[in-house]
Structure 1
Amino acid sequence: MAFKTRSKSSTVAPNPAAHLRGISNRKIPDVLPHQKVILEHYAQEAVDLPDVAIQLPTGGGKTLVGLLIADWRRVKDKERVLFLCPTRQLAAQVVEQAKDKYGISAINFSGRKAEFNAADEAAYRRGKAVAVAPYSALFNSNPFFTSPDLIVADDAHVAENYIASPWTLDLPSEHPAHAALIGVLRSTLTKRDIDRLEGNWEDRFAVNWVDKVPSPVVRRFHDQIHAVLQANIPSNDQRRFAWRAIEGHLSGCHIYLSSRSITIRPIIPPTWTHAPFNDAKQRVFMSATLGEGGDTERLTGRTKIVRLPSPDGFERDGVGRRFFMFPTLSLDDNEAADVRLRSQALATRSVVLTPSSLSGRNIEEEIKARLHGYEIFSSSDIETRKSDFAATARAVAVLPGRFDGIDFPGDDCRLLCIDGFPGAMNPQERFIMSKMSARALYSARLQIRVLQAIGRCTRALNDRAAVLVTGKGLVESLTDQRRWKFLKPELQAELEIGVEQSTDASADDFVENLELFLADSDEWQDVEDAIQEIRGEADQETPQYFADLSASVSEEVKYLKAVWNGDERKAAVAAAKVHSLLKHPELRGYRSLWHYLEGSAVDRLKAEDGDLVADEAKPMFLQAKNAAPSVSWLTDLAYRSNLAGKADETTKDDLDLASQVENIASNLEALGSTGQKFENAVAEIRRNLRSDDGSTFERGVEVLGGLLGWESGNSDADAAPDPWWIGATQLVVFEAYSEATSDRVFGTTKVRQVITHPTWLAEKLPHTASLQKTAIALTDAAHCDTGGPVHLGDTLLWTKRDFLAWSDTAIETLRGLREDFTNNGDFVWTTNAMQSVEDAGLTLQAVVSSLPLAKEAFIVTGS
C-alpha cells in the first residue's frame, strides 16, 4: 500500500466569517452583514469565555453562525466539536445544510452509540469533522461524547427537558414505582389527589392538575421513598439511569404530582456533575433570545453566561410577512372552526399546530368530514417525508405538540393554523406557573415558544404566510396590547393589523381577506404599507423585573449546588439571598417559592442537628403562603412546624379556603372564560336542583359541590348518605328529603340515617376519618317525630328553599369569578376570589355556622 500524502497546512482565518470564504465548495457567497458582525465580535471578545450566548431570531441564520464557530475552532485548534440539536430530524437537517450549502465537514451522530461508524468516530476524535447530534446523545448516563472541547447548543431556549432528563425520574401511573410511592405518601394526600394520580377519577377538570409534595414531607418519608424506588425500578428499566443520578440527592429534588404521573427532579439541572458538559473548554448557546432574566442559566445550570449583543438595528427587523387572523374575536368556537376549514380549502396546503394529541385527533376528524380528498400528514410523516407534503396539492399536516423544530418555508405552506397555547412543558413549570403564581419567571420562555410557533412558515425574508389563531390562552396572549411593547416592532405591527382586521368581522370577511393576502393583491399592499408605518413608530421594551431575575440566577445555582451536596446551611443562605434580590412586584410568586425553599432548608437543619436557626422556618413558610395563596399546603407549613402539632381553627379555615379556591381555579381553567361550557354546566345544575325527582336533585347537589371546589360524591347503597362535600379539614354530608313540603314529617327512618352518615363516611372513605364532620338534613319538611330531637344530636337543618337561594348566590359568585379569571395561579385573582367566596358564605365553615340545629328547628309532632 502506498503511503498517505499529508496535506499542507493552510492559513487559519482570523475569525469564523473569514473562515467561510476559505471553503471552496460552499454554495453561498458569504455570510450576511449581521452574521459577520456577530462572528467577528465572537472572535475578538468571546473565544476564551467558558459560556457564551448568541441571539439570532427565527430565520436569522443561527445555524450557519453556530456551524462556522464550530468549524473554525475545529480547524484552528484541532478541537473536538459537538453541535447539539433538540431532535434527530433537526440534526439531520443541520448536517445536510453543513455539507450541501456551506461546504463544512459534518457527521450525523443520531441513533444508538453501538451503531456509530468507526471512521466517523475517529474523524470526530481527531478534529476532522464537526459532530452533530441530538441533546440526548450528550445528556445521558453513558454518552459517546466524553470529552468535547467545544459544545454548540442550538435552540437552547427549548432544551430544558433534554438537559434535565438525566436527573428527571418520570413515573407514569402504570409503573409499579408509581403505586408504591403513593402507598408511602397516602397519609399526606387527599382522596381527590390520589384518585387523580391513580386515574380512578371522574373529575373532568383533573387533566391540568399539578401539585408538589412539600419538602418537609419528603424529608420525613425519605427512607421509605428511597426504599420503594430502589425496589420498584429494576436494573433493565431505562428509568434506572435517572434514579441512580438522584438517589443520593433526594433532599435536593422535588416530587411533582400530576394527572396519572409523578415526577422527581431538582429545580435546576445539576449539569456541573456531568463531566462531558461541564469540562468542555466552551459552551456556546444559540437561541432565538438571549435568555433574558437569566433564563438560559436556569435551563443549563450555569452560573454566568456572557451574551453577545445583536447588531445595531437588527432587533427591529422581522423575517418574512405574516397575516394574523383571530376568528374568535368576532365569532364563536364553531364559527371559528368553520373559518379554519374554509381557509384550509382556499390555501389547499396547510399546517395545524395544537398542544395535545386529543385536540389533534379532533381536528383530523373535522378535516376528514369536511375536506374531502385532502391527505393528512402526522408528525412522523413530516419527519420522514416532508418533501411529500410539499409536493401534495391538497394536504394538511396536523402536528400535536410540535411548536418548533419543523419548518415549512417558501411555497411549502402559506397557511399556519395554531389551536392552543404552547405553555408549560413539564410538571415543574406548570407548578411554578400555576400554583406559585410565578408566570413572570417563564414569560420570556413562553414568549419564545409562541414566536417559534408563529414562525414555522416564515423562515426567510421573502416568505409569506397567514397565521390563523384559535384557542383561548393563545388568542388572549397575542391580542393583549399591553404585551406588545415587549415584542419586535415588526411583530407588533403585524398583530395590530391582525386584531384590527379580525374585529367585527364575519366569516366571509376572514376568508375574503385571506384570499387577498394569498394573491398579494393591491388591497393587501395597502395593508402592507400600514404595517411598515406602524413598525417604524414602534419600540421594543424589556420587562423591568428581568433585571432582578438576572441578578438572582447565580445565587439560585449556588442554592442547588449546596442542597445537592447536603449543605443545608449554605442552601438556606443562598435561598435567602435569592428572595432578597427578587424585589419587583411582578416576581411575588417566584419570591414566594424561594421563601419556601429557604424554609425547607432551615427545617432540615432543625431535623438533623437541632440548629437554632431552624426556629425561623415557620415565618419563612408564612411569607411564602401569603404570596402564593393557590398552594393550600403552604398554610399547613406556615402554622405547624414539620407538619406536626395540632392546627388551630384559624389555620383550618385558611387551609379549607385555600384548597377550595385552588380547585375552583382548576374548574374555571377547564371550563374556559369564554364559550358555553360554564353556562351549560350551571344550567344543568339548576335544572337538577329544581327537579321533583330525588335522585336528580341529589345529582345537582353533588355537581354543585364539585364546581365549588370540594370533593363531592354520592352513593346508591342502602343506608348510604345522600351527597357529601369534602374540604381540606372538614366535610358536610346530607340526608336529602327534597320532595317533602313544609307539612311533611322528617320521620324516624330519616333521623336514623342522617345521624349515622358521618360514621358511614369514615368507614367507606378512610381519608375522611380525621376530618370534622357535620350531618345536614336537607328538606322543606318542618316536622319530626316525637323521638326525633333526642337522636338528632348536632345534625343541622337546611331547608330546600334556602338551599336553592344559596345555590343561586353560589352560581352568580362563580360567574363573577369566571369573568375576571385569567389563568390558574394569578395572585390578584386568587386573593380576590378568596374574599368573594368568604363574603358570599360559600365555605363549608360558613354553611355550618349559618344553619340551625335540626332538633331545635323541627316542629315535634306525634308519632
Structure 2
Amino acid sequence: MAGLDFGKLTKQSVVDSATEPRRIFAALPAKASKYARPWDVQSQVWDSWHERRTDSDLLIKMNTGGGKTVVGLMMLKSCLNDGAGPAVYITPDIYLADQVRAEAAALGLETTDDPRSGRFQAGKAILVTYIHKVINGISVFGVAGDTRQRIEIGSLLVDDAHACVSTLEHQFTLTIPRGHAAYNEISDLFDDTLRDQSQSTIRDLAEDVPGVALRVPYWSWADRQQQVLNALHPHRESTNGFKFVWPLIRDVLHLCDVAISYNEIEIKPPCPPIDRIPSLATAKRRIYLTATLADDSVLVTHFDAAPAPISTPITPQTADDLGDRMILTPMETHPGTTDEEVRTFLVEQALHRNVVVIVPSRRRAVFWRDFADAEHDSSSIHDGVRALREGHVGLVVLINKYDGIDLPGDACRILVLDGLPEAYSALERIEALALSESEAMITRQIQRIEQGMGRGVRSNDDHCVVLLVGSKLTQRLHKAGGSSKFSPATRAQLALSDQVADMLYGMPFSAIGSVIGQCLDRDPGWVAASRDALDGVTYPTTSTVSEVAVAEREAFRLAELGRYRDAHAKMRQAIIAANDDRRHEGWLKQRAAGYLHLSDPAAAQQMQKSAQTDNKAVLRPRDGVEYHRLNSLADQARQAAAFLTERYENGNDLIVGVATILDDLVPDPNQASVQMFEQAMYDLGLHLGFAAQRPERDTGEGPDVLWSLGKLAFLVIECKSGSTTDAIWRHDAEQLSHSMDWFAEKYDHTCSATPIMIHNTQVLHRQASARAGAKVITFAKLAKLRDAASKFAAALAADKAYGEVGKVSSQLTDWGLNGKVFAQTWGVAARKL
C-alpha cells in the first residue's frame, strides 16, 4: 500500500506563510539538529523586530556569538512571506557570504548567489551576496543614469554593517595610480595651488618621496572642474578603477575631497552617494545587523539610514551572553616592560597555543616578522584564518585586520592588539592628522579597537585573553575617558580586568604568564568572576548617532541638490554639535566653507580663516596665514612643571604619555611618518618646558619645528627623519638656511637662534654648505636623546615629582635637557666629507 500524501493536509505551510520569525524557525522541516530550538536572545530580537518590521530602516545589535546569522535569515524569510521581497542578505566579503549560505542550507532555507535568479526575483529564494557586488559602477542591480533594467530589492539586510564601511568607502573612491595618464594631468593642473599650501611637500612629491600627500584646496578643485573633466572623462571606461567608480561619483565630482600623493591621486565624496544604486535607496525595508559597538553614526553617514530608527535599536533583553575575555595592558600592569619583552613572552606562549597579533601597518609588522610563524594581509587573510581554525600554527600576525574574521576556540587563545589603528590612504592620513586627539577621532579609534578585540571570542562559551600593547594604545584607553566609549559588556570586562591588573601591579612580568594560564585553563574562580562581571549588563535603550553625523549627511544631500547655502547652514549645525572640540570644529568649518564656496567664494575664505584658527592642520586660506611669534619663556623648569601637572593625573600616565611621544620620534624612511615625527618633536619641547610651534605646517613657511628656550633663545629645527643617505644633500642644507632667513625676518636682532637638523649623518655632501653654528642631531644622538627623555619622565613619575619645580629643574640638568645646553649636548657640528 502506498504511503499517504500528508502534503494535502495543509494548503500553505507555516514556513511560507507566517511572518513571525519564531514560528517560521519552529516550523522548518529540514533544519539540522543543532537548531532544535532558538536561543532566548534570538527570540527576543525576533519578537521586537516583528512589531517594527515595516520601518524602512532598523538596527539590530547583538553580541558576537548570539546567532546573528540565523536571526537575519529568519527576518528576511519573514519579509518574503510578508510580500516585501525580493530579499537580499549582504555580507562584508565573499567568504562570509559562503558561510551564510552554508548556514541557510543547514536550516533548510533556499538561497542563491545569482541576482538574476528567477527564484530570487520571484521572492522564493534569498539572495546572499557581498557588498562589493551590490555597490559598484556597473552593479547588476543598476546604477542611476544607466539604461539597464534594474533588479529591484524589497528587503535587504546588511550583516556586520560596520565591517562593510571600509569597502563602501573604497567603492566610492576613485584612485588614479602614478603611472596613469590622468595622474600627471591632474597634478600639473593643481601644482600652483599646492605650492601655496606647502613648498617643501611639493618638492618631496617631485622627488618621489614615499608617503607624502597634499590635499587639493576645495576652491581650486571646484573652480577648475572643466579641466578636471577633460582629464578624467576620456578614461571613464578604460580600467576597472575607473569603470567601477566613475558612474558612482561623476555627478558629485565637484563636491569631492582630493589628495595627491607620491603614488596616486584619491578622489572621494564627503559621504557615499548611496542612492547611485537606486535599488538600495528604494528598498522597502533595510535592516542593519551589527555587533554591540557604542557608536552607530556611520550607518547615517555612509548608508544614509534614517537617524531616528537607528537611534532606537532592537536588542536582546540582556547583554551578558558575551564570551569570556581577560583584557590586560602590560604598560599598566608592568610600566617598565618593553615591547621586546612582551614579544619574547608571546613567542613562548605560541609554542603550544595560537597567538594572533593584529598590527596597524606593514611598518609595525616588521617588528614581529622574524618571530612570527605566519604573516597575513588582506590578500592572504582567509587562508591564514583557515589554517588557524584547522589547528596549531603559533604566532600569527594580521596586518590592519580588525573586523570581518572569526577566530573561535583554539583558533585564537591569546589575541594581541599592538598599537593604535592607523589610517592607510592619503585622505585618511590627512584627516587623521587634522583630527588627532579630537573626540571624533578618539571615538573612531576606540570603535576600531573594540572591533579588533572581538575577533577571538565568537560565542558565549568561548574564551581568550586579550593583550593591549603599545604606549599609544594604552594612552588612548586611559586618556579623555577612552574606556567609556566601549560598549557596556566590554566596559564590564575591562573593569574586571582592571582589578586583575591591580593584583598584578608590583609583581615581576613573568607573573602575567601564570595569570593568563588561569584564564585559559578555566580556573573556577576566574570563570565565576567573569560571569558575575557580565551579570545584569544590558544594552543601552538608545544607540549613539551623533548630531554631527546627521548634519553632515543632510548637508551633503543638500549640496547634491545644488542648495549650497542650505548645505552651509546645515554644516553650521554640525559645528555647534561638536561641543567646543576646536580641532573638530575647524575640520567641520572647512567642510562648510567648501559648500559655501560654490555660492559665495569670498565668504568661504573668511570661514576658512576661522577653520585654520581652530585647527592648524586644515587648508590655509587663499591669502595665507599671518604668523604669530612665539613668546620667550622665563623659567623652563617652572613651565615644564605646570605643563606636566595639567596634562597628567599620575606618574604612570606621565610615563605612558612620554613613551607615546618617543615611539613617534624614531627615524623612518616611510614619509607617511614624517608628520608624526614633527609633531613628536613639538610635543617633546612642551614636555621639557619650552614653547613650541610648527611654522611650516601652520603657515607654509619656516622650519618644521621651532622651540623657544627662554631668554630670547630659539632652536630652528628641520626634521629629516626619513633620511637614509650617508651625506646631507645640498637642498636639505639650503632648507635649513632658508628657515634661518625666515627666523631673521620674523624675529628682531634681540633674538638668537641655533640651526638644528635631525639627520642620519653629520657629514655634508661636497656641494652642500652648513649655516654658521648649525648642529646636527644624528640618529645615533637621537636614540640617546630618547633614552634621556624616557629616564627624565621615569625619575619624575614617583610621588608626582613632576609637579615640583625644584625636582623638575634637577632632572632637566641631570639628563642634559636644559635649554642652555640642549644644542651642545645633543647636536654635533656638521662637517664636510
* TM-score relative to the length of structure 1: 0.69
Q: 1:574 and 2:570 equivalent?
A: yes
Q: Which residue pairs with 2:270 in the alignment? A: 267
Distance 1:721 1:238, change over 3 A: closer
Distance 1:316 1:724, change over 3 A: farther
**Pairwise mapping of residues 164-243 of structure 1 onto structure 2 (< 5 A)?**
164-189=169-194, 190-197=198-205, 200-201=208-209, 207=211, 211-231=214-234, 235-243=238-246
> How far is 1:677 from its partner?
5.1
Q: Which residue pairs with 1:725 in the alignment? A: 735
AA aligned opposite 2:86: R
Instruction: State the superposition RMSD in angstroms.
Output: 4.8
2:579 to 579, 584, 600: 584
Q: For residues 432 and 704 of structure 2, what CA distance do their matches in structure 1 show?
A: 28
> How far is 1:269 from its partner?
0.8
**Pairwise mapping of residues 823-862 of structure 1 onto structure 2 (< 5 A)?**
none
Q: 1:402 aligns to what SS in structure 2?
A: coil
Q: 1:596 and 2:596 equivalent?
A: no
Distance 1:330 1:528, change over 3 A: farther
Is the 8 Å Cα contact of residues 208 and 262 (structure 2) preserved in structure 1? Answer: no
Q: Which residue pairs with 1:558 in the alignment? A: 554
Is the 8 Å Cα contact of residues 173 and 197 (structure 1) preserved in structure 2? Answer: no
> How far is 1:99 from its partner?
1.3
Q: For residues 454 and 776 of structure 2, what CA distance do their matches in structure 1 show?
A: 56
> How far is 1:709 from its partner?
6.4
Q: Which residue pairs with 2:148 in the alignment? A: none
Is the 8 Å Cα contact of residues 25 and 103 (structure 1) preserved in structure 2? Answer: yes
Q: Which residue pairs with 1:400 in the alignment? A: 399
> How far is 1:132 from its partner?
0.9
Q: For residues 242 and 776 of structure 2, what CA distance do their matches in structure 1 show?
A: 56
1:73 to 71, 79, 90: 79
Distance 1:377 1:278, change over 3 A: closer
Is the 8 Å Cα contact of residues 327 and 493 (structure 2) preserved in structure 1? Answer: no
Q: Which residue pairs with 1:519 in the alignment? A: 521
Q: Percent identity?
A: 19
Q: 1:506 aligns to what SS in structure 2?
A: coil
Q: Which residue pairs with 1:750 in the alignment? A: none
AA aligned opposite 2:626: T
AA aligned opposite 1:400: I
Q: 2:254 aligns to what SS in structure 1?
A: helix
Q: Which residue pairs with 2:445 in the alignment? A: 446
AA aligned opposite 1:61: G
Distance 1:349 1:431, change over 3 A: same
Q: 1:29 and 2:36 equivalent?
A: yes
Q: 1:651 and 2:626 equivalent?
A: yes
2:259 to 251, 256, 259: 256
Q: Which residue pairs with 1:98 in the alignment? A: 104
Q: For residues 432 and 754 of structure 2, what CA distance do their matches in structure 1 show?
A: 43
Q: Which residue pairs with 2:493 in the alignment? A: 491
Is the 8 Å Cα contact of residues 108 and 132 (structure 1) preserved in structure 2? Answer: yes
Decide which structure has greater helix share.
1
Q: 1:127 and 2:114 equivalent?
A: no
Q: 1:300 aligns to what SS in structure 2?
A: coil
Q: 1:77 aligns to what SS in structure 2?
A: coil
Larger Rg, first or second structure (1 or 2): 1
> How far is 1:674 from its partner?
4.2
Q: 1:579 aligns to what SS in structure 2?
A: helix
Q: 2:591 aligns to what SS in structure 1?
A: helix
Q: For residues 239 and 532 of structure 1, what CA distance do their matches in structure 2 show?
A: 52
Q: Which residue pairs with 1:340 in the alignment? A: 346
Distance 1:460 1:259, change over 3 A: farther
- 1:288-325 residue CA offsets vs partner (Å, 9 max, x unmatched): 24773633101212343513545575245532333535
Distance 1:187 1:672, change over 3 A: farther
AA aligned opposite 1:620: M
AA aligned opposite 1:55: K
Distance 1:143 1:475, change over 3 A: same
Distance 1:249 1:295, change over 3 A: closer
Q: Which residue pairs with 1:419 in the alignment? A: 418
Is the 8 Å Cα contact of residues 519 and 527 (structure 2) preserved in structure 1? Answer: no
Q: For residues 344 and 71 of structure 1, what CA distance do their matches in structure 2 show?
A: 44
- 1:806-849 residue CA offsets vs partner (Å, 9 max, x unmatched): x99xx89x969x989xxxxxxxxxxxxxxxxxxx999xxxx9xx
Q: For residues 198 and 153 of structure 1, what CA distance do their matches in structure 2 show?
A: 43
Q: For residues 442 and 19 of structure 1, what CA distance do their matches in structure 2 show?
A: 43
Q: For residues 394 and 173 of structure 2, what CA distance do their matches in structure 1 show?
A: 38
Q: For residues 33 and 173 of structure 1, what CA distance do their matches in structure 2 show?
A: 55
> How far is 1:399 from its partner?
2.0
Q: For residues 199 and 819 of structure 1, what CA distance do their matches in structure 2 show?
A: 39
- 1:86-135 residue CA offsets vs partner (Å, 9 max, x unmatched): 111111111111212x32222235xxxxxx8x7xx222112221111110
> How far is 1:774 from its partner?
13
> How far is 1:195 from its partner?
5.0
Distance 1:385 1:472, change over 3 A: closer
Distance 1:708 1:159, change over 3 A: farther
Q: Which residue pairs with 1:617 in the alignment? A: 604
Q: 1:85 and 2:91 equivalent?
A: yes
Q: Which residue pairs with 1:783 in the alignment? A: none
Q: 1:144 aligns to what SS in structure 2?
A: coil
> How far is 1:82 from its partner?
0.7
**Pairwise mapping of residues 703-718 of structure 1 onto structure 2 (< 5 A)?**
710=718
Q: 2:481 aligns to what SS in structure 1?
A: helix
Q: Which residue pairs with 2:766 in the alignment? A: none
- 1:375-432 residue CA offsets vs partner (Å, 9 max, x unmatched): 7777666624755433434444332122222212123332222223234465444433
Q: For residues 379 and 62 of structure 1, what CA distance do their matches in structure 2 show?
A: 24
Q: Which residue pairs with 2:69 in the alignment? A: 63
AA aligned opposite 2:408: P
Q: Which residue pairs with 1:318 in the alignment? A: 322
Q: 1:256 aligns to what SS in structure 2?
A: strand
Distance 1:533 1:408, change over 3 A: closer
Distance 1:708 1:38, change over 3 A: farther
AA aligned opposite 1:20: F
**Pairwise mapping of residues 670-685 of structure 1 onto structure 2 (< 5 A)?**
672-674=660-662
Q: For residues 237 and 330 of structure 2, what CA distance do their matches in structure 1 show?
A: 50
AA aligned opposite 1:627: D
Q: Which residue pairs with 1:463 in the alignment? A: 462
* TM-score relative to the length of structure 2: 0.71
Q: 1:139 and 2:135 equivalent?
A: yes
Is the 8 Å Cα contact of residues 590 and 608 (structure 2) preserved in structure 1? Answer: yes
Is the 8 Å Cα contact of residues 407 and 457 (structure 1) preserved in structure 2? Answer: yes
Q: 2:326 aligns to what SS in structure 1?
A: strand
Q: For residues 56 and 454 of structure 2, what CA distance do their matches in structure 1 show?
A: 31
Is the 8 Å Cα contact of residues 94 and 129 (structure 2) preserved in structure 1? Answer: yes
1:163 to 153, 162, 168: 168
Q: For residues 76 and 239 of structure 2, what CA distance do their matches in structure 1 show?
A: 37
AA aligned opposite 1:518: L
Q: Which residue pairs with 1:282 in the alignment? A: 285
Q: 1:466 aligns to what SS in structure 2?
A: strand
Q: Which residue pairs with 2:153 in the alignment? A: 148
Distance 1:35 1:325, change over 3 A: same
2:359 to 333, 354, 366: 354
> How far is 1:80 from its partner?
0.9
Is the 8 Å Cα contact of residues 358 and 401 (structure 2) preserved in structure 1? Answer: yes
Q: For residues 200 and 587 of structure 2, what CA distance do their matches in structure 1 show?
A: 24
Q: For residues 497 and 178 of structure 1, what CA distance do their matches in structure 2 show?
A: 55
Is the 8 Å Cα contact of residues 479 and 495 (structure 1) preserved in structure 2? Answer: no
Is the 8 Å Cα contact of residues 353 and 392 (structure 2) preserved in structure 1? Answer: yes
Distance 1:178 1:672, change over 3 A: farther
Q: For residues 327 and 38 of structure 2, what CA distance do their matches in structure 1 show?
A: 29
Q: Which residue pairs with 1:744 in the alignment? A: none
Distance 1:552 1:505, change over 3 A: same
